[in-house]
Amino acid sequence: MLTQKAKYAIKALVYLAQNEGLAKTKDIAETARIPKKFLESILLELKSHHLVESVQGAHGGYRLLKKPADISLADIHRMFEGPIALLYCASLNFYKPCPDCEDVESCQLRRAMIHVRVQTLRALQDITLQRMVEGEGFARQE
């Protein structure tokens, strides 16, 4: 399950993908029904990950730094939830061997979790901000 924070991050990014130009925290918060103070910290985190940029002062706000087609749910998941895999030992980006595992290579649990991660990752990569805004399905293209 996603945390509220990750869900809010996705909704904020979808808002930014739909509204070109600068968007104010206040407007995003009201439209997407996100607590404003919480959203502030989320936007700063998105900024630190170079997904958005900000303009300070009056008439300031946030905008996307990348094209909506270049931001996928896999990216957002990794930023706010960490590994897509169900165990660190099955992760691509957050790999850690289990402290108690005898042989990582032959571990059946790991093999199973890699199978799951491959499928989940593909599904998450299928979904870009652009596709979410377009409103079409998410079947994989050929």
Partner DNA sequence: CTTTAATTCTACTAAATTTATAGGATTTAA
Partner DNA sequence: TTAAATCCTATAAATTTAGTAGAATTAAAG
Residues that bind DNA (CB under 7 A): 3-5, 24-26, 35-38, 40-41, 43-44, 47, 54-62
Radius of gyration of the chain (CA): 18
Give the pair of three-digit tokens for residue 31.
Answer: 């439209």
Residue 63 makes contact with a copy of itself by CB under 8 A? no
Nearest distance from residue 39's CB to a copy of itself, in Å? 14
Are the CB atoms for 42 and 9 separated by under 8 Å?
A: yes
CB of 19 to a copy of itself, least distance (A): 15
Give dist(CA 16, CA 20) in Å, integer.
7
Taking the least distance from each CB to a copy of itself, the nearer of 52 and 107 is 107
If DSSP states are collapsed to H, E and C, what string results for 85-135?
Answer: CCCHHHCCCCCCCCCCCCCCCCCHHHHHHHHHHHHHHHHHHHCEHHHHHHC
Interface with a copy of itself (CB under 8 A), residue from 22, 45, 88, 130: 88
Which residues of the chain form contacts with a copy of itself (CB under 8 A)? 1-2, 7, 10-11, 14, 33, 73, 81-83, 85-88, 100, 108-109, 111-112, 115-116, 118-120, 122-124, 126-127, 131-133, 135, 137-138
